[in-house]
């Protein structure tokens, strides 16, 4: 995946680094922004919490976390989300299906959590959340 990313997006000045969300290969307080797009629903809760904790660790105080992922499906998208759950796992998607993604982010120590957008798709509902690492512990 890393080799493909380098080929497809050889951005000037960008550096591609191999790592995992559960142990990011960066020092504490390195970044102003961390994003997670359609990623967290692939993890069981304990792995989600590790990934969110790592995101908080590498963010500078006041840094922002942006998450776009599945949330509790609305209307007819609930049937489509069943397909996502079948493919990605019922345990992995349980918190998303119940609309608990925001509470997990808060539980990981983020503040000023806000919903920027929610969009209904045939396969479910995607929510875009923004949260902040506190400036003071």
Average pLDDT, the chain: 92
pLDDT, tens digit, for every residue of 18-51? 788 889 999 999 999 999 999 999 999 999 999 9
Q: What is the C-alpha separation between 64 and 46, in angstroms, rounded?
A: 22
The CATH architecture assigned to 34-132 reads 3-Layer(aba) Sandwich (3.40)
Q: How many Cα atoms occupy the beta-carbon half-sphere of 74 within 13 Å?
A: 7
> Percent of the chain having pLDDT more than 90?
78
pTM: 0.88
Return all residues near 19 (Cβ < 8 A) that are at least 6 apart: 25, 26
CB atoms closer than 10 angstroms to residue 80: 16
pLDDT digits (tens, 9 = 90+) for 96-128: 999 999 999 999 999 999 999 999 999 999 999
Tell me the pLDDT band of 17, cut-offs 50, 70 and 90: confident
């Amino acid at each position: 995946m890393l080799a493909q990313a380098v080929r497809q997006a050889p951005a000037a000045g960008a550096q591609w680094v191999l790592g995992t969300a559960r142990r990011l290969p960066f020092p504490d307080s390195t970044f102003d922004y961390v994003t997670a797009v359609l990623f967290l629903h692939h993890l069981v809760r304990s792995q989600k919490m590790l990934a969110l904790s790592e995101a908080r660790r590498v963010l500078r105080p006041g840094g922002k976390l942006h998450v776009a992922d599945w949330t509790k499906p609305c209307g007819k998208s609930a049937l489509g989300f069943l397909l996502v759950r079948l493919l990605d796992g019922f345990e992995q998607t349980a918190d998303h299906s119940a609309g608990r993604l925001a509470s997990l982010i808060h539980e990981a120590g983020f503040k000023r959590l806000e919903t920027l957008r929610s969009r209904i798709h045939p396969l479910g509902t995607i929510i875009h959340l923004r949260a902040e690492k506190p400036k003071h512990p």
